[in-house]
């Protein structure tokens, strides 16, 4: 079927609109982040900076102190927050990945007494809203003195992402062709040998996708660290960003520069691995 | 995030397990137990145990320090929580968030899927751009949109004043109706990619022959969409509804960034947050969180049953 010229026109218009909607706020953010504060206070508003500056980025990454007087945080705290977020993301992802790759394969390719029931229990926990668990976990964390610790934060992150990750990977393995594993077993491989040497390499794309999805999830967490962290040593970048918002005035260039910097790692992950991510997210239906 | 039916093609795995290859079924069972053990232990310790502790705490009197002994009070925390006027208003507000978000996400998601599900030049790039807003932290979505709605130097006010639509700057986020709409707008910006992906996958699963055959019979594109695409898309629609509903019920970050915990836009989770951590009513906050969980679970099950009834 060759599309008619009218259909083509609709497609071009639709795609243009979609790109404007998706990228517009990001482009506006970049513009604001390179403006000066007086420029953003002009009426009528100035969208494009007269003389683009990278001062805010320099302050955020160089440890300089810039902020509005009534804001709780200033730019010098940003570097540490990015490091906190990155560390928590990497460690959580490693834990969740190990658990869910093993469980995803185990639940879809092996069968033992009670395996289906166990799968259902694990998947049912997805329905429990994160908040119910987090409020309860807060109490346990307080008892174990894990509030404001890296370990406590990572455990709660992992608990809130693992069920989804297990489900996504279970679906992924279920749709994976079983022939290579069968061939390996016929050739005399043990189950574990086949898993390690044949199935693990076969799951490369799925593992890449799951890594990306879990990283994106953890990187953006806000409510959990808002409850569990209150020190500079543990606060992630999402929490620090909200503290740049003043009670009465907001330094928009600084705030948006902080936002744009925090967006760079997830944007790279999403763009580089987008084919894998799409494959995994749309397999579940 | 995505939730949906787990009953599906067990066929491939069955084939693997169906015949015994040098005792591989038993070996497989042992390997299986070993592989799922970490997940089970993890779920038990970090999800089920805290859930039990949480339910238990919600049935006891609120105590000022976390380890202090507390009296059993039954459902008192639940009734007390529901008696708060702010609980009622934030619950109603959350219903609005859910309804408005779905009202935009479902039609817009369908439109995007109709636009993108077939291959064309540059589609890969458009798809990459499409998922970008979903990948960004929702706090940052709020930050990126915040200046648009700022009353003093906001981009929206400036544009409208210059166009002569409004005479003087409007404090958008103080106006409940506008604030709700704008918060939903920011929320949808982040969620729409996921909903569109669900529909794209659903449309791609419909074989091309069906369309070709109906075209031979003289069906117009609209009739094809109405009578072929939509009915066959029902499973995707249910997934999209679950994803959209659960995420809208859990809305928090965008509101926090755009309007703080102001009462006029407060969602139910913000109310839980306020009761638990600001007012220090720990047991009562937990009771409310559990109620929200029950409603969410009931909705998810309701959607799933809708699907089952239509397909069986």
Decide if A128 and B47 are in contact by the 8 Å CB cutoff: yes
The residue extents of the domains of chain B are 79-311
Taking Cα atoms as reference points, which of B2, B72, B32 lies closest to residue B243? B2
Residue of A nearest to B248 (CA): A129
Residue A21: its pLDDT value, please?
A: 96
Torsion of CA B209, B214, B220, B225, to 10 degrees: -60
Q: H/E/C letters for each residue in B66-89?
A: CCCCCCECCCHHHHHHHHCHHHHH
| Res A267 pLDDT > 70 | yes
pLDDT values of chain B reduced to their tens digit, one per residue, 312 residues: 333 333 344 444 444 554 444 456 778 888 889 999 999 999 999 999 999 988 998 999 887 766 677 789 989 999 999 999 999 999 999 999 999 999 999 999 999 999 998 888 889 999 999 999 999 999 999 999 988 888 777 888 888 888 888 877 788 888 899 999 999 999 999 999 999 999 999 998 888 888 888 888 888 888 888 888 888 898 899 989 999 999 999 999 999 999 988 889 999 999 999 988 888 888 899 899 999 989 988 998 888 888 776 654
**CB < 8 Å to B219, chain A:** none
Q: How far is CA A53 from the centre of its chain?
A: 29
Residue A148 tokens, joined: 């404001």
Percent of all residues in chain A with a pLDDT value above 90, rounded to a whole number: 55
CA distance B205 to B179: 39
Please tell me if residue B126 touches chain A, with a CB cutoff of 8 Å. Answer: yes
* Contact partners, residue B207, CB within 8 Å, separation at least 6: none
Topology of domain B79-311 in CATH is MetI-like fold (1.10.3720)
For A33, other C-beta atoms within 10 Å of its C-beta total: 27
* Contact partners, residue A102, CB within 8 Å, separation at least 6: B35, B36, B38, B39
Residue B196 tokens, joined: 């569109």
Residue A2: its pLDDT value, please?
A: 61
Which whole-number Å values give the CA distances from A89 to A158, A166, A213, A216, in the listed order? 10, 17, 11, 8
List the helix and strand counts (H, then E) for chain B.
16, 0
Overall average pLDDT of the A124-152 stretch: 83
Q: Tell me: the pLDDT tens digits for B3-31?
A: 333 334 444 444 455 444 445 677 888 88
For A16, other C-beta atoms within 10 Å of its C-beta total: 11
CA distance B121 to B100: 34
For B105, other C-beta atoms within 10 Å of its C-beta total: 25
Alpha carbon of B13: minimum distance to chain A alpha carbons (Å): 5
Please provide the DSSP assignment of B117-166 as one string.
SS--TTHHHHHHHHHHHHHS-HHHHHHHHHHHH-TTT-HHHHHHHHHTSS
Decide if B130 and A129 are in contact by the 8 Å CB cutoff: no
Residue of A nearest to B37 (CA): A103
Lowest mean pLDDT among A9-13, A85-89, A159-163, B305-309: B305-309
Taking Cα atoms as reference points, which of B76, B47, B48, B49 lies closest to residue B60? B76
Q: Tell me: the pLDDT tens digits for A178-199?
A: 889 888 888 888 888 888 899 9
Alpha carbon of B143: minimum distance to chain A alpha carbons (Å): 6
Decide if A139 and B194 are in contact by the 8 Å CB cutoff: no
- Residue from the list A136, A170, A250 with its beta carbon closest to the beta carbon of B57: A136
Residue B136 tokens, joined: 């960004």
CA distance A72 to A78: 12
Residue B182: its pLDDT value, please?
A: 94
Residue B279 tokens, joined: 């007012």
Chosen from B105, B136, B138, B277 to mutate, greatest number of chain A CBs within 10 A:
B136
Strand partners, B72: B60
Output helix, strand, coil percentages for chain B, rounded to the nearest 5. 75, 0, 25
Residue of B nearest to A120 (CA): B6
Please tell me if residue B8 touches chain A, with a CB cutoff of 8 Å. Answer: yes
Decide if B33 and A158 are in contact by the 8 Å CB cutoff: no
CA distance B165 to B162: 8
Interface pTM, i.e. ipTM: 0.91
**CB < 8 Å to A178, chain B:** 12-13, 15-16
| Res A285 pLDDT > 90 | no
Q: Which domains does chain A have, with CATH numbers?
A: 75-283 (1.10.3720.10)
Percent of all residues in chain A with a pLDDT value above 70, rounded to a whole number: 97
- The DSSP code for B172 is G
* Contact partners, residue A83, CB within 8 Å, separation at least 6: none
Alpha carbon of A264: minimum distance to chain B alpha carbons (Å): 9
* Contact partners, residue B234, CB within 8 Å, separation at least 6: B307, B310, B311
Q: In whole numbers, what is the pLDDT of chain A averaged over residues?
A: 89
My answer on whether omega of the bond before A110 falls inside 30° of 0, hence cis, is no
Query: Between A258 and B15, whose confidence is greater?
Result: A258
Which whole-number Å values give the CA distances from A125 to A133, A217, B211, in the listed order? 10, 17, 40
Residue A207: its pLDDT value, please?
A: 96
Query: Between A107 and A72, whose confidence is greater?
Result: A107
Residue of B nearest to A85 (CA): B137
Q: Tell me: the pLDDT tens digits for A1-11?
A: 566 788 889 88
Lowest mean pLDDT among A56-65, A127-136, A211-220, B269-278: A127-136
Decide if B38 and A103 are in contact by the 8 Å CB cutoff: yes
CB pairs under 8 A between A and B: 337
Please tell me if residue B267 touches chain A, with a CB cutoff of 8 Å. Answer: no
Residue A250, helix vs strand vs coil: strand
Please provide the DSSP assignment of A90-140 as one string.
HHHHHHHHHHHHHHHHHHHH---TTHHHHHHHHHHTTTS-HHHHHHHHHHH
Residue B101: its pLDDT value, please?
A: 98
Burial of A168-177, coded b for 16+ CB within 10 Å and e otherwise, reads bbbbbbbebe
| Res A30 pLDDT > 80 | yes
Q: Tell me: the pLDDT tens digits for A118-133?
A: 999 988 888 776 777 8
Q: Which of residues 45-64 of B touch A (CB under 8 A)?
A: 46-51, 53-54, 57
Please tell me if residue A266 touches chain B, with a CB cutoff of 8 Å. Answer: yes
Please tell me if residue A182 touches chain B, with a CB cutoff of 8 Å. Answer: yes
């Amino acid at each position: 079927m060759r599309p008619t010229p009218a259909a083509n026109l609709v497609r071009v218009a639709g795609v243009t609109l979609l790109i404007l909607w998706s990228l517009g706020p990001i482009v506006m953010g970049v513009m604001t982040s390179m403006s000066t504060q007086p420029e953003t206070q002009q009426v009528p508003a100035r969208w494009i900076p007269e003389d683009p500056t990278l001062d805010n980025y320099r302050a955020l990454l160089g440890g300089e102190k810039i902020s509005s007087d009534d804001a709780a945080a200033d730019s010098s705290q940003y570097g540490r927050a990015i490091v906190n977020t990155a560390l928590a993301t990497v460690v959580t992802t490693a834990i969740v990945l190990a658990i869910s790759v093993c469980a995803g394969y185990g639940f879809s390719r092996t069968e033992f007494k009670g395996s289906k029931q166990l799968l259902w229990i694990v998947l049912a926990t997805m329905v429990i809203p994160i908040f119910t668990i987090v409020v309860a976990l807060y109490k346990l964390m307080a008892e174990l003195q894990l509030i404001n610790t890296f370990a406590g934060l990572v455990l709660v992150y992992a608990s809130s992402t693992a069920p989804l990750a297990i489900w996504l990977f279970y679906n992924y393995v279920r749709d994976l062709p079983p022939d290579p594993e069968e061939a390996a077993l016929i050739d005399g491989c043990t189950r574990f040998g086949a898993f390690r040497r044949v199935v693990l390499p076969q799951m490369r794309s799925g593992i890449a996708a799951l890594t990306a999805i879990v990283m994106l999830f953890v990187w953006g967490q806000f409510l959990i660290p808002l409850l569990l962290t209150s020190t500079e040593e543990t606060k992630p970048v999402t929490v620090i960003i909200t503290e740049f918002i003043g009670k009465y005035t907001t330094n928009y260039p600084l705030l948006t520069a902080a936002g744009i910097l925090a967006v760079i790692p997830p944007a790279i992950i999403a763009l580089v691995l987008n084919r894998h991510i799409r494959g995994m997210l749309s397999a579940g239906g | 995030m995505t939730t949906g039916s787990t009953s599906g093609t067990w066929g491939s795995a069955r084939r693997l397990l169906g015949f015994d290859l040098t005792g591989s079924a038993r070996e497989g069972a042992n390997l299986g137990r070993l592989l799922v053990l970490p997940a089970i232990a993890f779920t038990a310790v970090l999800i089920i145990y805290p859930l039990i502790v949480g339910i238990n705490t919600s049935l006891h009197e609120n105590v000022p320090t976390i380890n202090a002994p507390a009296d059993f009070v039954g459902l008192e925390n639940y009734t007390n929580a529901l008696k708060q006027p702010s609980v009622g208003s934030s619950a109603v507000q959350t219903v609005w968030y859910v309804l408005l978000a779905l009202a935009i996400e479902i039609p817009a998601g369908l439109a995007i899927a109709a636009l993108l599900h077939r291959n064309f030049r540059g589609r890969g790039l458009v798809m990459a751009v499409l998922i970008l807003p979903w990948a960004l932290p929702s706090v940052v979505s709020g930050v990126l949109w915040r200046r648009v709605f700022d009353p003093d130097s906001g981009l929206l006010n400036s544009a409208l004043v210059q166009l002569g639509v409004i005479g003087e700057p409007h404090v958008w986020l103080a106006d409940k109706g506008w604030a709700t709409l704008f918060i939903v707008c920011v929320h949808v910006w982040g969620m729409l990619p996921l909903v569109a992906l669900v529909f794209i996958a659903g449309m791609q699963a419909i074989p091309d022959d069906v369309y070709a055959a109906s075209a031979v019979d003289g069906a117009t594109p609209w009739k094809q969409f109405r009578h072929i695409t939509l009915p066959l898309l029902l499973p995707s629609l249910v997934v999209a509804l679950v994803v959209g509903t659960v995420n809208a019920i859990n809305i928090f970050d965008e509101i926090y960034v755009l309007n703080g915990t102001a009462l006029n836009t407060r969602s139910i989770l913000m109310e839980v947050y306020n009761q638990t951590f600001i007012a220090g009513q720990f047991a009562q906050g937990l009771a409310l969180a559990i109620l929200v969980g029950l409603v969410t679970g009931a909705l998810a099950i309701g959607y799933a049953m809708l699907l089952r009834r239509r397909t069986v």
